[in-house]
Amino acid sequence: MQVSVESKDGLERRMTVDLDADQIESEVDKRLREFARSARVPGFRPGKAPLKVLQQRFGGKVRQEVFGEQVQTSLPEAVGKEALRPAGPPRIEPDMDESARRYAYTAVFEVVPEFALGDLEGKTLERPVAEVTDADLEAMLIRLRKQRRTWAVVERPARLGDRLELSFTGTRDGEPFESGSAEDIKLELGLGRMVAGFEEGLVGMQAGDERRLELTFPDQYPDESLRGKPVVFTVQVSEVAEPVLPEVDADFAKALGFPEGDLEKFHLDLRRNMERELKDRIDARVKQQAMDLLLETNRIDLPEVLILQEIQALKQQIRQRMGDGGIELPDQFYRKQAQQRVALGLIMAEVVKVNQIETDPQRVREMVENLASVYENPQQAIDYYYADKQRLAPVESLTLESQVVDWVLDQVRVVDEPTTFEALSTVE
């Protein structure tokens, strides 16, 4: 077997492999002779057809089979011989000429890039520092109470936070427009679900009132026909209701999963959950900064095949989340995110290899226990993870990522940045 490699643009390689003609033809001859013992050919008794006839009728097919098998078995050997690391499955270009006794093929593929890790010395990472305060606990209780609020009809002017029952008709240039009208809907003021100015314009209205709102659709409105267009809404309010928050009592605790209505245990568990959430958010902020630093200090060429694979993985995640009714976005929409994920995967793999980082079983156990802590029977959840290596694999992967983050923290200057639970809970 003779192997030669040609480097093309970027990471593409063309590896040409010349196979041993004697070996292939010998195998073809062997298979035809074995086949001859039972071959049924018109004009000949079973197993009596001459080898020459079999070669004429079946030689080409057998030769293709043997050649294909030789490609499959020789490819890994050739790749190893040239010390190449293909980033994905190769494209095979056969080059076979029986009359010239030439049996060769070219494997075209991209390789995993080789690079030296960038220097993180002098880089700074800000680590958030916060704690769960009594005020945070009280704010969380209010949030939970709002989630379970009821509504009481009131005889007063509406204000932000109230829920109105209303009907409206929208017109543009005096003519109704599509989706511009609704009957007897309920609208909570202040959530920003309607066009800018609509909800604010209803403040002060009472049941039985009618009001005319002159508004303008934003320039980035999804419906192109309405972008930047002035419209008029005529609104009739039939009911005003205010939110009624439940008291924090035994019934409230029972509704949140505490059958005995133990308020002390409820408050204790709520604080613990908030502290767990706080730690997760701090870890996530630190991890994101660590990943950003790795990307910043390691600019590498990326195999297109891996980017395309990652795009398909991202699209599949969206399909699973949205179901069959989701909108199918073009590949280009996912490309930047896919590039970052591929780059991080390659960089972190290099960090692990160069620094000989191995997954820490103790940290895996701690992560499993943390995941299991939210279940009613934590030990049952722990046993579930450890009963199947495939279930444990994602946890091991996350643990290894956290160990890479620790390695980054050892390389950079870490500055504590005071903050609050509320600030870290704000979605950016």
Mean predicted confidence (pLDDT) in 85-90: 95
List phi, psi (to 5°) of 193: -85, -15
388-393-396 Cα angle (round to 5):
125
Greater confidence, 310 or 40? Answer: 310
User: Is the predicted pLDDT of residue 114 greater than 90, yes or no?
Assistant: yes
Task: Dump pLDDT digits (tens) for 255-289.
Answer: 888 888 889 999 999 999 999 999 999 999 999 99
> What integer pLDDT is reported at residue 35 of this predicted model?
72
> What integer pLDDT is reported at residue 153 of this predicted model?
97
How far is the C-alpha of 79 from the C-alpha of 11, rounded, in Å? 15
Q: Are strands 230-244 and 150-153 parallel, antiparallel or unpaired?
A: antiparallel
Alpha-helical regions (H) of 85-181: 134-147
User: Is the predicted pLDDT of residue 69 greater than 70, yes or no?
Assistant: yes
Looking at this protein, which amino acid is placed at residue 283? D
Average of per-residue pLDDT values in the chain: 92
Contact (Cβ atoms closer than 8 angstroms) between residue 96 and residue 103 = yes
> What integer pLDDT is reported at residue 325 of this predicted model?
63
> What integer pLDDT is reported at residue 326 of this predicted model?
64
Q: Under CATH, which architecture does the 2-110 domain have?
A: 2-Layer Sandwich (3.30)
Confidence of residue 58 (pLDDT cuts 50, 70, 90): confident
> What integer pLDDT is reported at residue 44 of this predicted model?
73
Class of the CATH domain delimited by 124-134+252-425: mainly alpha
How far is the C-alpha of 51 from the C-alpha of 49, rounded, in Å? 6
How far is the C-alpha of 17 from the C-alpha of 24, rounded, in Å? 14
> What integer pLDDT is reported at residue 127 of this predicted model?
96
**Which of 235, 218, 215, 214 lies closest to 226, judged by CA?**
218
> What integer pLDDT is reported at residue 212 of this predicted model?
96
Which residues share a beta bridge with 187? 164
Mean predicted confidence (pLDDT) in 341-348: 96
**Which of 118, 123, 13 lies closest to 343, judged by CA?**
118
> What integer pLDDT is reported at residue 327 of this predicted model?
73
> What integer pLDDT is reported at residue 389 of this predicted model?
93
Contact (Cβ atoms closer than 8 angstroms) between residue 96 and residue 19 = no
The CA–CA distances, whole Å, from 276 to 307, 361, 367, 383, 421 equal 35, 21, 12, 22, 11
Q: What is the DSSP letter of 86?
A: B
Mean predicted confidence (pLDDT) in 351-373: 94
For the record, the structure tokens of 34 come out as 């074995």
Q: Does domain 150-244 have CATH number 3.10.50.40?
A: yes
Contact (Cβ atoms closer than 8 angstroms) between residue 17 and residue 32 = no
Q: 117: left (phi > 0), else alpha (psi -120 to 50), else beta? A: beta
Confidence of residue 31 (pLDDT cuts 50, 70, 90): confident
> What integer pLDDT is reported at residue 45 of this predicted model?
64
Confidence of residue 152 (pLDDT cuts 50, 70, 90): very high
Contact (Cβ atoms closer than 8 angstroms) between residue 107 and residue 28 = no
> What integer pLDDT is reported at residue 243 of this predicted model?
96
User: Is the predicted pLDDT of residue 38 greater than 80, yes or no?
Assistant: no
Task: Dump pLDDT digits (tens) for 294-330.
Answer: 999 999 999 999 999 999 999 998 888 877 666 778 9
> What integer pLDDT is reported at residue 52 of this predicted model?
73
How far is the C-alpha of 75 from the C-alpha of 141, rounded, in Å? 63
User: Is the predicted pLDDT of residue 428 greater than 60, yes or no?
Assistant: no
User: Is the predicted pLDDT of residue 48 greater than 90, yes or no?
Assistant: no
User: Is the predicted pLDDT of residue 427 greater than 80, yes or no?
Assistant: no
Mean predicted confidence (pLDDT) in 360-370: 94
How far is the C-alpha of 134 from the C-alpha of 113, rounded, in Å? 52
Element (H, E) at 337: helix 331-354
Task: Dump pLDDT digits (tens) for 205-252.
Answer: 999 999 999 999 999 888 888 999 999 999 999 999 999 999 999 999
> What integer pLDDT is reported at residue 90 of this predicted model?
96
Residue with tokens 């994905």: 88
List phi, psi (to 5°) of 158: -75, 150
Neighbours of 339 (CB within 10 A): 16
> What integer pLDDT is reported at residue 29 of this predicted model?
85
Neighbours of 287 (CB within 10 A): 16
User: Is the predicted pLDDT of residue 195 greater than 80, yes or no?
Assistant: yes
2-110 and 124-134+252-425: identical CATH topology: no
> What integer pLDDT is reported at residue 167 of this predicted model?
97
How far is the C-alpha of 325 from the C-alpha of 269, rounded, in Å? 38
> What integer pLDDT is reported at residue 144 of this predicted model?
95
Task: Dump pLDDT digits (tens) for 369-403.
Answer: 988 988 889 999 999 999 999 999 999 999 999 99
Domain ranges (residues) in the chain: 2-110, 124-134+252-425, 150-244
> What integer pLDDT is reported at residue 99 of this predicted model?
85
Greater confidence, 385 or 58? Answer: 385
